[in-house]
Structure 1
Amino acid sequence: MYYAHSTKNTDGSDWQRLADHLQQVTRLAAARGDKFGAGRAAALAGWLHDLGKYAAAFQNYISHRGPGGVDHSTAGAKEVIALGLKEGDGLMAELIAYAIAGHHAGLPDKSGDASTLADRFEKPLEPLDARWRREVDFDATELMPKDFTWRRDGRHAFQAALLGRMIFSCLVDADFLETEAFYASVDGNEIDREWPKLPDQMDRLIAAFDAYMADKQRSAALTPLNQLRGEILTHVRARAALPRGVFTLNVPTGGGKTLASLGFALDHAKRWGMERIIYSIPFTSIIEQTASIFREVLGNNVILEHHASIEQTSSKDDEFRDGISDARLRLAMENWPAPVVVTTNVQLLESLFASRTSRCRKLHNLANAVIILDEAQTIPLHVLKPCVAVLDELALNYGCTIVLCTATQPALIAPSFDGGFQIVDPDERELAPDPPRLHRELKRTTERLAGTMTDDDLVHEMAAVEQGLVIVNSRQHALMLYQACEAAGLAGLIHLTTRQTAADRRVILADARQRLTHGQLCRVVATSLVEAGVDIDFPRVWRAQAGLDQMMQAAGRCNREGRRLVRDSIVTIFEPAEAKPPPEIAGLIDDTSRILREHRSDLFSPRAIEAYFREVYWRKDKGLDKRAVMQRFLIGVGDKTDFAYRSVAEEFRLIESGMAPVIIAVDDQAKATLVALKGGMPPGMAARELQNFVVQVRPRDRRLLLGNGHVRFVEGFGDQFAVLMTESLYSRETGLLWERGDELGFGGII
Structure 2
Amino acid sequence: MQSIAHIREYDKKIQTVSEHLLGVKILAENYGEKIGLKHVVGLAGVLHDLGKYTEKFRNYIWDAVHYPEIAEKRGKIDHSTAGGRLLYNMYHDNTTDPFKKILAEIVGNAIISHHAYLQDFITPELNSKYLFRVQEKDICEFEKSKECFFRYVMTEVEFDKYVNNALDELKTIMDRTPTQVIFLTKYIFSGLIDADRTNTREFEDNKENKVYFDHLCLFQSYYKKLIDKYETFNRSATSDHPINKLRAGMAERCDKFAEEPSGIYTLSIPTGGGKTLASLRYALKHAQMHPKQRIIYIVPFTTIIEQNAKEVRDILKDDRHILEHHSNIVIDEDKNNDGNEEEQEGLFNTKEKIKLARDDWDSPLIFTTMVQFLNVFYSKGTRNIRRLHNLSHSVLIFDEVQKVPVQCVSLFNEALNFLRKDAHCSIVFCTATQPALEFVDHKLEINADGEIIEQVDRVNDAFKRVEIIDETSYPMTTDYLGNWINKKTLEDKQSILIILNTKAVVKDLYVRLKNDDSFSLPVYHLSTSMCPAHRNRILREMKDLLKAKIPFVCVTTQLIEAGVNVSFSCVVRSLAGLDSIAQAGGRCNRHGEYEELKYVYVIDHLEEKLDKLKEIKEGKILTKQILADLSANPKAHGGGLLSREAMTLYFRRFYTVKFKEVLNYPITDLGDKDMTDLLFNSYRNGYAQDYKKENEGLELLNTSSYKTAADYFRVINDITQPAIVPYGDGKELINKLNSAARVEELTELLRKAQQYTINLYPNEVNELSSEGGLEIHLDGQVIELKERWYSKEHGLDMEGEGELGLALV
TM-score range, shorter chain: 0.7 to 0.9
Q: How does 1:34-49 map to 2 (within 5 A)?
A: 34-49=33-48
User: Residue type matched to 1:593 in 2?
Assistant: K
Distance (whole Å) between structure 1 residues aligned to residue 5 and residue 356 of structure 2: 22
Distance (whole Å) between structure 2 residues aligned to residue 144 and residue 232 of structure 1: 42
Distance (whole Å) between structure 1 residues aligned to residue 210 and residue 539 of structure 2: 36
Q: Does 1:463 align with 2:490?
A: yes
Q: Deviation digits for residues 138-179 of structure 1, max 9, x if unmatched?
A: 23232553453649xxxx323212111111122222233333
1:631 corresponds to which residue? 677
Q: Does 1:590 align with 2:621?
A: yes
User: Residue type matched to 1:422 in 2?
Assistant: E
Distance (whole Å) between structure 1 residues aligned to residue 550 and residue 609 of structure 2: 33
Distance (whole Å) between structure 1 residues aligned to residue 114 and residue 719 of structure 2: 31
**Any idea what SS the aligned residue of 1:714 has?**
strand
2:408 corresponds to which residue? 383
**Any idea what SS the aligned residue of 2:593 has?**
coil
Distance (whole Å) between structure 2 residues aligned to residue 492 and residue 376 of structure 1: 34
Q: 1:369 aligns with which of 394, 412, 430?
A: 394
User: Residue type matched to 1:464 in 2?
Assistant: E
Q: 1:285 aligns with which of 272, 291, 303?
A: 303
Q: Does 1:477 align with 2:505?
A: yes
Counterpart contact for 1:149–1:396, Cα < 8 Å: no
Q: Which moved more, 1:473-482 or 1:90-99?
A: 473-482
Q: Deviation digits for residues 232-279 of structure 1, max 9, x if unmatched?
A: 011111111222111111111121111111111111122222222112
CA distance 1:109–1:650, shift in 2 (3 Å): same
Q: Does 1:236 align with 2:274?
A: no
Counterpart contact for 2:410–2:442, Cα < 8 Å: yes
Distance (whole Å) between structure 1 residues aligned to residue 363 and residue 274 of structure 2: 25
Q: Does 1:537 align with 2:537?
A: no
Q: Which moved more, 1:459-468 or 1:612-621?
A: 459-468
CA distance 1:301–1:674, shift in 2 (3 Å): closer
**Any idea what SS the aligned residue of 1:631 has?**
helix
Q: 1:245 aligns with which of 263, 279, 285?
A: 263
2:523 corresponds to which residue? 493
User: Residue type matched to 1:632 in 2?
Assistant: L
Q: Deviation digits for residues 69-99 of structure 1, max 9, x if unmatched?
A: 4322211101212333245421222000111
Q: Deviation digits for residues 645-686 of structure 1, max 9, x if unmatched?
A: 333334323233456888765x4645556677899999x999
Q: 1:418 aligns with which of 441, 464, 487?
A: 441
CA distance 1:549–1:25, shift in 2 (3 Å): same
Q: Does 1:211 align with 2:228?
A: yes
1:646 corresponds to which residue? 707
1:52 corresponds to which residue? 51
1:620 corresponds to which residue? 659
User: Residue type matched to 2:513 in 1?
Assistant: C
Counterpart contact for 2:268–2:430, Cα < 8 Å: yes
CA distance 1:700–1:233, shift in 2 (3 Å): closer
Give the gaps of 5 or more residues in structure 2.
Answer: 331-353, 630-635, 668-673, 689-697, 802-809
Q: 2:129 aligns with which of 107, 116, 120?
A: 116
RCO higher in structure (CA 8 A, sep ≥6): 2
Q: Which moved more, 1:338-347 or 1:244-253?
A: 338-347
Q: Deviation digits for residues 676-729 of structure 1, max 9, x if unmatched?
A: 7899999x999987766666677667767777x5x54438988985856766xx
Q: Which moved more, 1:616-625 or 1:51-60?
A: 51-60
CA distance 1:661–1:277, shift in 2 (3 Å): closer
**Any idea what SS the aligned residue of 2:283 has?**
helix
Q: How does 1:494-513 map to 2 (within 5 A)?
A: 494-513=524-543
CA distance 1:254–1:308, shift in 2 (3 Å): closer
Counterpart contact for 1:6–1:63, Cα < 8 Å: no
Q: How does 1:231-630 map to 2 (within 5 A)?
A: 231-300=249-318, 303-308=321-326, 333-413=358-438, 416-423=439-446, 425=448, 428-451=449-472, 452=474, 453=476, 454-455=480-481, 456-466=483-493, 467-486=495-514, 487=516, 488-567=518-597, 569-579=598-608, 581-582=610-611, 583-584=613-614, 585-596=616-627, 597=629, 598-599=636-637, 601-618=639-656, 619-624=658-663, 625-627=665-667, 628-630=674-676
Q: 1:732 aligns with which of 784, 787, 792?
A: 792
Instruction: Please report how far the alpha carbon of residue 587 of structure 1 lies from its aligned counterpart in structure 2 after TM superposition.
Output: 1.4
Distance (whole Å) between structure 2 residues aligned to residue 493 and residue 178 of structure 1: 52
Instruction: Please report how far the alpha carbon of residue 297 of structure 1 lies from its aligned counterpart in structure 2 after TM superposition.
Output: 3.0
* TM-score (normalizing by structure 1): 0.84
CA distance 1:214–1:363, shift in 2 (3 Å): same
Counterpart contact for 2:5–2:52, Cα < 8 Å: no
**Any idea what SS the aligned residue of 1:388 has?**
helix
User: Residue type matched to 1:436 in 2?
Assistant: D
CA distance 1:5–1:725, shift in 2 (3 Å): closer
Q: Deviation digits for residues 334-383 of structure 1, max 9, x if unmatched?
A: 22332222222222221122453332232212111111111111111122
**Any idea what SS the aligned residue of 2:703 has?**
strand
CA distance 1:653–1:193, shift in 2 (3 Å): same
Give the gaps of 5 or more residues in structure 1.
Answer: 313-328, 743-750
**Any idea what SS the aligned residue of 2:492 has?**
coil
Q: Deviation digits for residues 370-402 of structure 1, max 9, x if unmatched?
A: 111111111111222111211121111111111
2:5 corresponds to which residue? 5
Q: Deviation digits for residues 284-340 of structure 1, max 9, x if unmatched?
A: 22212222222233341662313246969xxxxxxxxxxxxxxxx998952233222
1:324 corresponds to which residue? none
**Any idea what SS the aligned residue of 1:300 has?**
coil
Counterpart contact for 1:544–1:575, Cα < 8 Å: yes
Counterpart contact for 1:197–1:339, Cα < 8 Å: no
Q: Which moved more, 1:544-553 or 1:632-641?
A: 632-641
CA distance 1:701–1:43, shift in 2 (3 Å): closer
Q: Deviation digits for residues 158-206 of structure 1, max 9, x if unmatched?
A: 321211111112222223333344455xxxx434432312124343332
User: Residue type matched to 2:712 in 1?
Assistant: E
Instruction: Please report how far the alpha carbon of residue 102 of structure 1 lies from its aligned counterpart in structure 2 after TM superposition.
Output: 1.8
Distance (whole Å) between structure 1 residues aligned to residue 236 and residue 702 of structure 2: 60
* TM-score (normalizing by structure 2): 0.78
* Residue identity (%): 31
CA distance 1:67–1:368, shift in 2 (3 Å): same
User: Residue type matched to 1:641 in 2?
Assistant: N
1:82 corresponds to which residue? 89
Instruction: Please report how far the alpha carbon of residue 7 of structure 1 lies from its aligned counterpart in structure 2 after TM superposition.
Output: 4.5
Q: Does 1:140 align with 2:151?
A: no
CA distance 1:484–1:56, shift in 2 (3 Å): closer
**Any idea what SS the aligned residue of 1:335 has?**
coil
Q: Which moved more, 1:379-388 or 1:133-142?
A: 133-142
Distance (whole Å) between structure 2 residues aligned to residue 695 and residue 20 of structure 1: 41
**Any idea what SS the aligned residue of 2:659 has?**
helix
1:319 corresponds to which residue? none
2:189 corresponds to which residue? 168
User: Residue type matched to 1:118 in 2?
Assistant: L
